[in-house]
Amino acid sequence: MKMVFAIVHNDDGPLVSSVLTKEGFPVTKMASTGGFLMSGNTTFIMGAEDNQIDKIIDLISRYSKRRTQSVMGDAGIAPTYTGGSGIPVEVQVGGATIFVLNIERFERV
C-alpha cells in the first residue's frame, strides 16, 4: 500500500477532486500554502494500492495545468528573492507536485 501526497494549484483542486472521486479513489483534501509564493494551493492525501498509483498520477497530471505566475518583488517571497526591488518575477507553477510513500500498516477501525 502507498500514500500519495499531491499538491495542486487551487484552481485545479475542485476538478482533480471530482475526477478522483468519480474514478473511485478515496481522497482527503487539505488547504495548504506554498512556502515560495505564499499563496493557497490544495494538497490531496490518498491511501491506495500499489497497482492504482499510475492511474492516480495520470489523472492528477491530466487535470493539473502548468501556469506561469507573476509575483511582485515586494509580495510574499519577494523581499529576499528579488532584493525587495518591486520588479515582477515569473515562476512556473505545477502541474502537480506528487510524493508517493510506502505505508507500513493501514487500519480502519
Q: Does 24 bind ligand 2BA (CB under 6 A)?
A: no
Quick one: 55 or 66, whose CB is closer to ligand 2BA? 66
Residue identified by cell 507536485 is 97
- Which residue in 19, 94, 98, 100 binds ligand 2BA (CB under 6 A)? 94
Nearest of 12, 45, 49 to residue 28 by alpha carbon: 45
16, 41, 48, 78: which one binds ligand 2BA (CB under 6 A):
41
Count CB atoms within 10 A of the CB of residue 92.
9
- Choosing from 30, 36, 84, 101, the residue that interacts with ligand 2BA (CB under 6 A) is 36
Nearest-5° Cα angle at 33, 21 to 9:
45
In the complex, the smallest distance separating the C-beta of residue 66 from ligand 2BA, rounded to whole angstroms, is 8
